[in-house]
């Protein structure tokens, strides 16, 4: 028989232990103007041990955001600019022959960092994408006969540009499923853009960002995130949402059936549960509520739902489908 959870004590503990989240956001705000949604989703991926795929136009601070976050957390950062001539060894590393010692030595690639920015992931061929995704999934890399574990915390932030399709290799659906979140980045508002101009014009360098959190604090926070309380009714709500993407007719949405070619995989349910716990932690709360699920649902599901040609002909997007499901599925 399971020991009952003392929600009040857990709530108090998480409220105290999650204090560093505000410090992190404050420090990042020195350099990143606006883009609160993106910063929050990066923290979500970090705490829920999931990788993030960012889709947005150039110049929206995607690179700057992860670089700033890595400085705030006193962690290693590396950037890989994906190009069509990139090879898997350029990411994971390779064996280099040392003529003095007459032996091969391992030269580790840029994947060996806490924060890895895979810039324009859809510019590299499938073999390179697979090498990165394998490292993301297994959290280890094999070079020659040696296997190396990747240091925690380990977060891959991949970006892709939605407007350029020429000379790109779009990520297959099965591979995008490896990303916990697909976040769409939008333009800043007028006031934020004015602040950005002012910040850049005020000097040659951006304000200095100081480390306010250690990597060990993130690992400790991840263990706490797993302990966030989730009621059975919330679990049922998650499975209902995901099953509605597969069998919409059973949930009173027969009109969605001809629009969907496939629904969310079990990874969708797992990630929705993990990310909702992490989101509750970011709100400094020890239990999950239905609003947490609704808040992160689009980022978890938008890359896991396949649309038919009929849906595309009618200009129906994944966002429309998710909105319909959230409006229809009963909230506990």
Q: In the chain, what percentage of residues exceed pLDDT 90?
A: 16
H or E element, residue 136: helix 126-138
H or E element, residue 133: helix 126-138
CB 293 within 8 A of CB 259: no
Average pLDDT over residues 178-203: 82
- Give helix 36-47 / helix 20-28 axis angle, nearest 10°: 140
Check whether 94 has a pLDDT greater than 90. Answer: no
Domain spans in the chain, listed from the N-terminal domain onward = 7-216, 230-328
Report the mean per-residue pLDDT for the chain.
84
Split at pLDDT 50, 70, 90, the class of 102 is confident
Split at pLDDT 50, 70, 90, the class of 166 is low
> pLDDT tens, 248-280?
888 888 898 888 888 888 889 999 999 999 999
pLDDT value of residue 1: 37
Q: Which residues touch 213 (CB under 8 Å, ≥6 apart)?
A: 20, 23, 24, 72, 73, 74
CB 14 within 8 A of CB 239: no
Quick one: DSSP state of residue 180? S
Check whether 167 has a pLDDT greater than 60. Answer: no
Average pLDDT over residues 165-178: 70
> pLDDT tens, 291-316?
999 999 999 998 888 888 988 888 88
Split at pLDDT 50, 70, 90, the class of 163 is low
Class of domain 230-328: mainly alpha
Architecture of the CATH domain 7-216: 3-Layer(aba) Sandwich (3.40)
Select the more confidently predicted residue: 242 or 171. Answer: 242
Of residues 179, 151, 140, 163, the one with CA closest to residue 54:
179
> pLDDT tens, 205-230?
777 888 888 888 888 889 989 989 89
């Amino acid at each position: 028989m399971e020991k009952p959870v003392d929600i009040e004590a857990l709530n108090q503990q998480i409220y105290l232990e999650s204090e560093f989240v505000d410090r992190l956001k404050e420090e990042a705000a020195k350099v990143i103007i606006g883009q609160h949604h993106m910063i929050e989703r990066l923290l979500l991926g970090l705490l829920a041990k999931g990788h993030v795929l960012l889709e947005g136009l150039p110049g929206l601070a995607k690179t700057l955001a992860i670089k700033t976050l890595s400085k705030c957390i006193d962690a290693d950062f590396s950037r890989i600019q994906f190009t069509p001539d990139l090879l898997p060894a350029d990411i994971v590393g390779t064996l280099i022959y040392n003529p003095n010692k007459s032996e091969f030595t391992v030269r580790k690639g840029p994947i060996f960092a806490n924060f890895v920015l895979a810039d324009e992931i859809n510019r590299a061929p499938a073999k390179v994408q697979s090498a990165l995704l394998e490292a993301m999934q297994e959290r280890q890399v094999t070079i020659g006969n040696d296997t190396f574990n990747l240091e925690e915390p380990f977060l891959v932030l991949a970006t892709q540009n939605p407007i350029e399709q020429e000379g790109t290799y779009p990520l297959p659906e099965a591979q995008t499923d490896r990303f916990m979140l697909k976040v769409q980045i939008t333009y800043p508002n007028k006031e934020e853009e004015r602040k950005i101009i002012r910040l850049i014009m005020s000097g040659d360098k951006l304000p200095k960002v100081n480390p306010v959190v250690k990597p060990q604090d993130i690992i400790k926070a991840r263990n706490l995130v797993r302990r966030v309380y989730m009621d059975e009714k919330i679990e049922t709500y998650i499975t209902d949402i995901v099953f509605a993407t597969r069998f919409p007719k059973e949930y009173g949405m027969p009109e969605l059936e001809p629009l969907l070619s496939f629904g969310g995989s079990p990874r969708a349910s797992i990630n929705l549960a993990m990310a909702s716990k992490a989101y509750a932690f970011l709100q400094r709360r020890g239990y999950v509520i239905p609003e947490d699920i609704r808040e992160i649902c689009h980022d978890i599901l938008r890359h896991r739902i396949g649309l038919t040609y009929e849906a595309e002909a009618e200009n129906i997007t994944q966002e429309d489908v998710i909105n319909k499901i959230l409006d229809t599925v009963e909230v506990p």
